[in-house]
Structure 1
Amino acid sequence: MKANNMVLGLDIGGTKISSGMIRDGKLSERKETRTPASLPQEEILDAISTQIEHYTPFGFKSIGIGIPGLVDPIEGIVYNLANIPSFQKVNLKAYLEKKFNVPVVINNDANCFALGEYKFGPARDHRHVIGITLGTGIGTGIVANGHLYTGRLCGAGEWGGVPYLEHTFEDYCSSKFFKREFKQSAKKLAISAENGAQEALDIFKAYGNHLGQLIYRLLLAYAPEAIVIGGSIRKAYPFFEKGIQDVIDQFPYKPISENLKIYVSELDDSAILGAISLVKENEFLIKGEAPVSSSTFIA
């Protein structure tokens, strides 16, 4: 069962840790466990290690990890995880490299989503791609000239925090919009929209207009060839597609907007696939390096 070219990918979130490896071009050996998000750092690190130990019989050669929050991709230090309070400054790379004696590459989870879609989804036919995840919050990953653009501490693309109307884009483009304005979940409203309820259809059109305003700005900032929409709200895309398009139609530079491709993700594990792809994307970081031997993993 051993395969010395195997890469293990992990998507670490506030509620679950998902993992898998690519075999014959497809994700295999997928595993999912609950994240003990409220526990101390040591216990969370133990949970991550236990997840990885499940794969030791496969002889993986390296590990790629996507995780929310700020990440130093060189040092592998994770900062300010809102959903995992004890992970405020953790040298996850050093900890895992010493424990498993393989190179580890870490990046923001939204970046991993974008990279996974670029490598394994229809966006692979383009070189300039933006991935947008729509759920409890929003995340944005940028692929420019065929490679991730992450900025300092993987902080590029944090469009959710950009001021918009009375709040921020996250308040209007995530599930917060439905709960704050209409006291309902996006999922419940989508069921109503499927049944033809006009109020629900109007709500999703308004939501699409807000998301369209975000995409309008992304077109100005990055001029992508393609945008991939992911996250749980993507399933309601037919109800807010026109709202988006109405705004994009107002974009002044038609050669950009009229050739823009918008895809709805069909991959269930884009972030894991992107985490696996991180190893190749960041090969220059790990080629020829020995695992870090620092004895301080938790700050």
Structure 2
Amino acid sequence: MNIGVDLGGTKIKAGVEMNGAVIKQETILLQDKDSLSSTLQQLIDLIKPLMAYSVNSIGIGVPSVVDTEKGIVYDVTNIPSWKKVDLKDILQDEFNVPVFVNNDVNCFTLGESRFGLAQGFSSVVGVTTGTGLGSGIIINNQLYVGNNCGAGEIGLLPYLDQNLEYYTSNNFFEAIHGITALEANHAAMAGNKIAIDLWHQFGKHLGTAIKTIMYAYDPQAIVLGGSLSKAYPFFEMGMYNALVDFSFPESLKRLKIFVSQDENISLLGAAALIPNNYDNVLLKDR
């Protein structure tokens, strides 16, 4: 059994993984984010009761760039006190088990590849859309992180007057249209035509992101996750409309696009970082 941890800017989830399932889970809201010692203690206190199980290792996904070999995280999104944290060493000293650290979207993608909708596909890209736009990459059944764990950050590519992330995340609704994505979703569900059109426009922008992924990686499958993916029925048509001018239509016909269904998939992916249980899980540039 292994512990998987999903560290976010507002909450932390941790669970015990056994045979590809989460058998025990804990969740807390993250408090006092300006204090490194306080946030670390909250993380430790969340994991402690799970150590009562026969735990071999801990895997943790963090929304940041990660030195995956040393387990150091840098400039964690929405946690201002986490500028440079030796997370691997801190947790190994506390719990005396091996600890593995990676980017949170990489863990999401690995989870879908090993346990979720993308099982059976050797090349997969996971895309999460919410506060931002993130992606993780599986190549030849291995998680590809690049030299600095920065591979797949397509959201930062220039697009229109901003970047792709600006138009394919909460920013599209809040910064451009003055409404939250949640409000837009509720309005669309109630039949509001303006909200439905907003989601259609959002889908077109996300379709551009998918075309970028196809040109860069040509995966067999793309799995969509994150809070905005729950509105998929409202942006699906706009997304596919944006794909009609893709230069390689036969490749597009073979592409499978899934919407994540498992709320614990990132925990499972974090647990799958443990190389003793999942051989050749990580691929880096050398």
TM-score in terms of structure 2 length? 0.94
Match of 2:213 among 212, 218, 226: 218
Match of 1:179 in 2: 174
Match of 2:284 in 1: none
Match of 2:137 in 1: 142
The amino acid that maps onto 1:178 is F
1:97-246 matches, within 5 Å, as: 97-246=92-241
Unaligned runs of 5+ in 2: 282-286
Q: How much does 1:147 deviate? A: 0.9
Q: CA–CA distance in 2 between the matches of 1:126 and 1:282?
A: 16
Q: CA–CA distance in 2 between the matches of 1:225 and 1:24?
A: 25
Residue 154 of structure 1 aligns to a residue whose secondary structure is coil
Question: Higher mean Cα deviation, 142-151 or 35-44?
Answer: 35-44
Q: How much does 1:37 deviate? A: 4.9
Match of 1:89 among 84, 91, 96: 84
The amino acid that maps onto 2:140 is N
Residue 124 of structure 1 aligns to a residue whose secondary structure is coil
8 Å CA contact 2:21, 2:268 repeated in 1: no
Query: Are 2:62 and 1:67 aligned?
Result: yes
Match of 1:250 in 2: 245
Q: CA–CA distance in 2 between the matches of 1:284 and 1:254?
A: 33
Q: CA–CA distance in 2 between the matches of 1:237 and 1:96?
A: 37
Q: CA–CA distance in 2 between the matches of 1:72 and 1:38?
A: 22
Residue 52 of structure 1 aligns to a residue whose secondary structure is helix
Runs of 4+ in 1 over 6 A off after TM superposition: none
TM-score in terms of structure 1 length? 0.90
The amino acid that maps onto 1:126 is F
8 Å CA contact 1:72, 1:152 repeated in 2: no
8 Å CA contact 2:8, 2:62 repeated in 1: yes
1:148-198 CA-to-partner distances (Å, cap 9, x unmatched) read 111122111111211100111111000110112221111211222222222
The amino acid that maps onto 1:246 is N
Match of 1:277 in 2: 272
Match of 2:2 among 7, 11, 28: 7
Q: How much does 1:59 deviate? A: 2.3
Count of residue correspondences:
280
1:25-56 CA-to-partner distances (Å, cap 9, x unmatched) read 42121100122352422222211111121112
**What RMSD in Å do the two structures reach over aligned CA positions?**
1.6
Match of 2:261 in 1: 266
